[in-house]
Structure 1
């Protein structure tokens, strides 16, 4: 029989996040700190709007680009929160989560052989999406000493005549790092000088704990016409299962992204779109409440890791910690596997997010304080054994 498979697809490894999630789902009394999913229910008024849309029989396709009302609310939200304006008719499309937007942006922009700069550690989808679009992923290895931020020096080191796109994954999954305005201004200068484009994944934009609010690079002079801004509803509004995101881009790019979306997806879920209108119109207080809760958990985990003598820089965004386990002389995979087997706590090896994640773990604090306290108690017991403090 002929090989039925595409070798490019076969060569792409499965997600390193899901490996541990699948194991823990079948393990009794296990605690998972591995999945980036809010533990909050979607706020009731948002759910209610979704229910109402079903009761009213709004179960038909929307336009390919999304409900007009939703695109208008996305425009209003970005103008209000990020000081950037997009035309709802020509520069905004609604997608099935932020991940679809990443895939569509890369397929619309990459020609075979184009290089895509991907700061790492970072979300697991960027490199595979680049490969699927026949691009060449070029990792930029970020370092803890730089607070896992992208520096101008590291960016310039990787740019070649074939470089076309820079992925900006901030606030960052898995490190929790952010880029502030002055950081982005330096990056924007290089992007313009080298005639690059940016895919800015801002799905965690509302989960920022620094004094300065989140800044999008698209709001800086000369950058809107070079940027595809990607965001969504999963993290800020606790709407993971609703599968809804959006992309904002210059019309010349969005027109081609929409073509891909038309043939692959048709349109995002109608019920989810009606719920998202309500989220953007009346969800600010919900976001604030959840952000404050995450911040409390963030500080709790940071203090607990310090007491365990686990080195961990202070993250300022998203809902992840990225502690170092280098002092134990184990790989991230070995540490995570033993922790799961011996203490029934699941975390994600840093290598799931790029080779430079070796020596680190991603620990999500999108869980209740009760679960976090129990998990940390088990982690401490494990670390104490490694340190020879207990039998």
Structure 2
């Protein structure tokens, strides 16, 4: 007879992968639920603003539902209008052509990140990631079977990246360097010169660069933070993770994208089919409206964040 299940019971089963047996969820969600019950608490547990998604985005998704766009999206890499909008958007903000073949739409930035790691990481290989870093990065590398290898920024009045030490942390088993820029939680942002050095290192060694740029539009020293996409060619080993969550107030929509070399587009399309079978059509319709009509919204969110009172440390 099987034991009675309970919320507190834990059973050991043979055959479960080692990476899964010791995997656990972070307590951030439990913290958020408990803190909200307290009432007068400032919500800093997620990288999430306090703005409800604006009506023009919600209305576009509602219209898609009303038009009957409730079927599968056959192109696993994204619905045509959104792929075209993302191509035009990235070409404009980065100042160089980024064609449709270089973008795959995903159910959230986390899914884009996971696909990037799944594309590259084998058991026995490692990913060097720039820390402090949100825990999902370490755990996603571990989940796939790679070795998470943290490399810490230096703090000397502000956060600084020692490129020589970073490169020395890599070895023959390193598949990728992962960085978040602008960074959660530090706010550190890679400079254009640091991006160039990372790209040059990748070209010399064959090590991939995975750049998490989901906060790239919430940058206070310009319209967009320095991005590796501003200098990388299509043939470079570069993957850029992005999301609609932050700059368009769409955290709960779960939609993001991965920018990649066109040479891995077919593989990413196949991976998408077997991992999640694509992103829902009405969600993609909302994202099209965000990209096409959302520049005033991006500016509003950036200005609101910049003008908030700063805590004293």
TM-score (norm 1): 0.72
Partners of 2:122 and 2:18 lie apart in 1 by 19
Q: Distance in 1 between matches of 2:58 and 2:65?
A: 11
> For 1:168, which of 179, 192, 199 is the aligned residue?
179
Higher deviation after alignment, 221-230 or 261-270: 221-230
Q: Specify the SS of the correspondent of 1:225.
A: coil
SS at match of 1:26: helix
> In 2, are the aligned partners of 1:151 and 1:183 still within 8 Å (CA)?
no
Contact 2:58 2:286 in 1 (8 A): yes
Change (3 A) 1:292 1:28: closer
Post-superposition shift, 1:224? 5.6
Give the Cα separation in 2 of the matches to 1:275 and 1:210. 28
Aligned length: 301
Counterpart in the other structure of 1:38: 49
Give, in whole Å, the separation in 1 of the partners of 2:243 and 2:233.
24
Q: Higher helix proportion, which one? A: 1
Mapped pair 1:286 → 2:297 = yes
Give the distance between the partners of 1:243 and 1:80, measured in 2 at CA: 24
Partner Cα distance (1:279, 1:212) in 2: 17
1:82/1:214 contact within 8 Å kept: no
Structure 1 position 223, deviation (Å)? 7.4
Q: What's the counterpart of residue 124 of structure 1?
A: 135
Q: What's 2:7 paired with?
A: none
Instruction: List aligned pairs for 1:73-84, cutoff 5 A.
Output: 73-84=85-96
Shift of 1:215: 2.0
Query: What CA deviation, in whole Å up to 9, does each residue of 1:105-146 have, x standing for no partner?
Result: 111111221111110111222111111221111110112227
| Distance (Å, rounded) in 2 between the aligned partners of 1:16 and 1:177 | 24
In the superposition, the TM-score normalised over structure 2's length comes to 0.89
Q: Tell me the distance in 2 between the aligned counterparts of 1:246 and 1:24.
A: 31
SS in structure 1 of the partner of residue 37 of structure 2: coil
Structure 1: gaps (5+ residues) = 311-391
Counterpart in the other structure of 1:334: none
Distance 1:144 1:287, change over 3 A: same
Q: What SS class does the counterpart of residue 231 from structure 1 fall into?
A: strand
CA contact (8 A) 2:109 2:255 kept: yes
Q: Does 1:154 align with 2:165?
A: yes
Backbone CA RMSD of aligned residues:
2.0
Counterpart secondary structure, 2:197: helix
* Aligned match of 1:269: 280
Task: Give the whole-Å Cα distance in 2 for the aligned partners of 1:149 and 1:281.
Answer: 36
Partner residue, 2:263: 252
1:97 aligns with 2:108: yes
C-alpha separation between the residues in 2 aligned to 1:211 and 1:49?
Answer: 29
Structure 2 Cα separation of the partners of residues 12 and 242 of structure 1: 26
Query: 5+ unaligned residues in a row in structure 2: which ranges?
Result: 3-10
Moved over 6 A (4+): none
- Asked whether the equivalents of residues 245 and 253 of structure 2 are also in contact (C-alpha less than 8 Å), the reply is yes
Pick one of 189, 193, 218 that aligns with 1:182: 193
